[in-house]
Amino acid sequence: MVQSFIVVGAGIIGAATALQLAKAGHAVKIVQAGGVDATSTSFGWINASFFLNDDHHHLRRAGIAAWHRVLQNVPASVDWQGCLCWDMSPDDMEATFTQLRAFDYPVEMIAKSQIQKREPALNAAPDQALFFPAEGAASPADLSRHFLTAAQALGAKLIRNTYVSALKTKNGRVIGIETPQGDMLADQVVIAAGTGTAAIVGSIGCDIPLVPRPAYILRTAPQKKVLHHILATPQGEIRQEPSGQILMPVVPGHQSDDAEELMQTPTEAADAAIKRLHAICGGLENADWSEVTRAERPMPRDGFPIVGPIADGAYVGVLHSGITLGPIIAELAAKDITGRLDNADAAMLAPYRPDRFLHP
């Protein structure tokens, strides 16, 4: 049966979920407030080498597989260049290698000479690094747009610059959304509004706890090609876009960074980070940062995705590592909402249900 959906949010989670719902033949409207989102300001690294527990690793790995599926229909720019990682102690590196090997995840421990061969521009290659050949990076700037266009080609409609102030209910069921311009009705509402999610679901008394995780990320002007992989170094994560621009979150280890406030101005933070970039990488001549963006990462309180129904007619999808996980969460959520989840899918979603906060 064809159902009508309103998807609130047009970052990667909303856009990718809208695509899956449209693909399943449903009538979809995507409503987006505008402003800076996390997706377009992300670092874009698609990986399963960072994870919080075994289930989380398996979900992220399924995320990489889902990316390969979705790229058959969505012309996003993803470079499967692999990652070289040495932002950990030798003991931790050994332990990570052993654990990932046990998971049968593609990983190699490589020595200095091989690192130098792979990345000749490094000023001082480490003695050893982990190499994750299956990892890649998506160009974040126009990422959502590619998913939205694919959804629109299947009939989805995009409503831009429209703020959702509340969910609309009738007889205890969510029947649509409220905006300053009036209400819109649908059979089901999917809330994928990133850091805006908590306020929207709060309108029906639902507590989805997100913690503040601000971040700065910088870009240089286009440079000649110097980097061939994503690099996770003790001085920071860096990678070079196909445009030649180098991207770098200004905090090393940004995936696990848990600062709640930014203590530097954007220029102080970017100046310090660009010095670290030059320390890592030669061949950049006088490259300076050309853009620094303050972003807010949607981060559930326990660090894990929150995906599932929150009320009759309302479903939520909010998470960090949404670039890695967007396509798999979208596939699973669309199946879940439309009653097509099989046992394996249900097991994959089980640890991430909103119930852990709603009915602890």
Ligand X SMILES: Cc1cc2nc3c(=O)[nH]c(=O)nc-3n(C[C@H](O)[C@H](O)[C@H](O)COP(=O)(O)OP(=O)(O)OC[C@H]3O[C@@H](n4cnc5c(N)ncnc54)[C@H](O)[C@@H]3O)c2cc1C
Q: Give the binding site for ligand X (CB under 6 A).
A: 8-14, 31-35, 37-39, 41-45, 163-164, 192-194, 196, 200, 215, 217, 249, 254, 295, 297-298, 318-324
Q: Min. distance of Cβ 255 from ligand X in angstroms?
A: 7
Q: Min. distance of Cβ 248 from ligand X in angstroms?
A: 10
Q: Min. distance of Cβ 46 from ligand X in angstroms?
A: 6
Q: Min. distance of Cβ 45 from ligand X in angstroms?
A: 3
Burial environment of residue 345 by CB neighbours within 10 A (0 to 12, 13 to 18, 19 or more): middle
Helix (H/G/I), strand (E/B), else coil: 235: coil
CB 306 within 8 A of CB 315: no
User: CA angle, corner 48, sides to 45 and 130, nearest 5?
Assistant: 85
Nearer to ligand X, 116 or 267 (CB): 267
Nearer to ligand X, 11 or 126 (CB): 11
For residue 350, how far is the Cα from the chain centroid?
20
Q: Min. distance of Cβ 171 from ligand X in angstroms?
A: 24
Nearer to ligand X, 1 or 263 (CB): 263
Nearer to ligand X, 253 or 283 (CB): 253
Task: Please give the structure tokens belonging to residue 266.
Answer: 């954007």
**How many Cβ atoms sit within 10 Å of the Cβ of residue 56?**
19
From CA 317, how far away is CA 332, in angstroms rounded?
11
Q: Min. distance of Cβ 141 from ligand X in angstroms?
A: 12
Nearer to ligand X, 37 or 119 (CB): 37
Nearer to ligand X, 97 or 163 (CB): 163
The H or E element spanning position 51 is none
- 214-220 and 246-249: which strand pairing? antiparallel
User: CA angle, corner 248, sides to 318 and 191, nearest 5?
Assistant: 10
Any bridge partners for residue 219, and if so which? 247, 291
